[in-house]
Homo-oligomer: A and B are copies of this chain.
Amino acid sequence: MRRGDLIDVVGFDADDTLWECQDTFDAAEQLFFETVSPYASEGIDLADSLRSTELGNLAISGYGVKAFGLSMIEAAVTATGGKIPSRAIGVLVDHIHDMLREPVKLLDGVAGALQSVAQTHRIVMITKGDLVHQTRKVRTSGLSHHFEHIKIVLEKDAETYQGVLDEWNIIPSRFLMVGNSVRSDVVPVLEIGGFALHIPYHVTWDHEVVNTTSHAFESLDSISMVSNWLANEAK
């Protein structure tokens, strides 16, 4: 029996699984450092200030570019004791709006990989982030026709996966999740009895890094290998 015979539906993460995301945040952080450091109070660790502000706001503002932008501005004012000129803040706000407008950059092999998997399996997308921004990325990606359902969630934990799969009448034990984050795409899906494939991306947001996991899981080097994985014999 093939692995694919054990699976009804394949779920894909989006950011850094289908298209680039973390690179854009890293570039924005660089802009933040360059813009803010000339005015930073002595002894301030700007990276730490930004990170703490982001994490402090996470529960109320969530993931995504707009939440990040507001945290960046808050950190810029705080870390400079108000000494940063508002024109420099204007540069940061403009950059945030540019990020929201940025064309989607599909990762290598994504279009072909989805087409292959779609020939044998139903496909859904489960992703975190900002509703408007993710919807825009899905719509402009040229990939949306592959997805039977698309869900943008606040947090990818076991409870959320269980709820989303229930809503779509998908049996967890017949569901495979594919994504770049062990914390968000792999561990919670294994916890509810599903399959998961990790496809590492070259950069990972610190927040998504898990140092240890009690779960054994499989990694593939590329999303192009998912359809082969499905076609192989189950052990």
Contacts and interface: CB of A to CB of B under 8 A. Distances in A.
Contact residues on A (Cβ < 8 Å of other chain), bracket: 35 or more
B61 A97 contact: yes
A69 B100 CA distance: 15
A136 B86 contact: no
Interface in A62-94: 62, 66-67, 69-70, 73-74, 76-78, 80, 82-90, 93-94
* CB-based closest 9 A-B pairs: A62-B132, A82-B87, A77-B90, A66-B66, A60-B100, A131-B131, A74-B93, A84-B86, A77-B86
B132 A60 contact: yes
A101 B60 contact: yes
A86 B75 CA distance: 11
Interface in A130-159: 130-133, 135-136, 152, 154
Q: How many copies does the complex hold?
A: 2
Nearest to A80: B86
Interface of A: 57, 60-62, 66-67, 69-70, 73-74, 76-78, 80, 82-90, 93-94, 96-97, 100-101, 130-133, 135-136, 152, 154
Most buried by B among A74, A77, A84, A94: A77
Contact of A154 (B67, B101, B135): B135
B62 A97 contact: no
B87 A77 contact: yes
Contacts of A152: 131
B82 A90 contact: yes
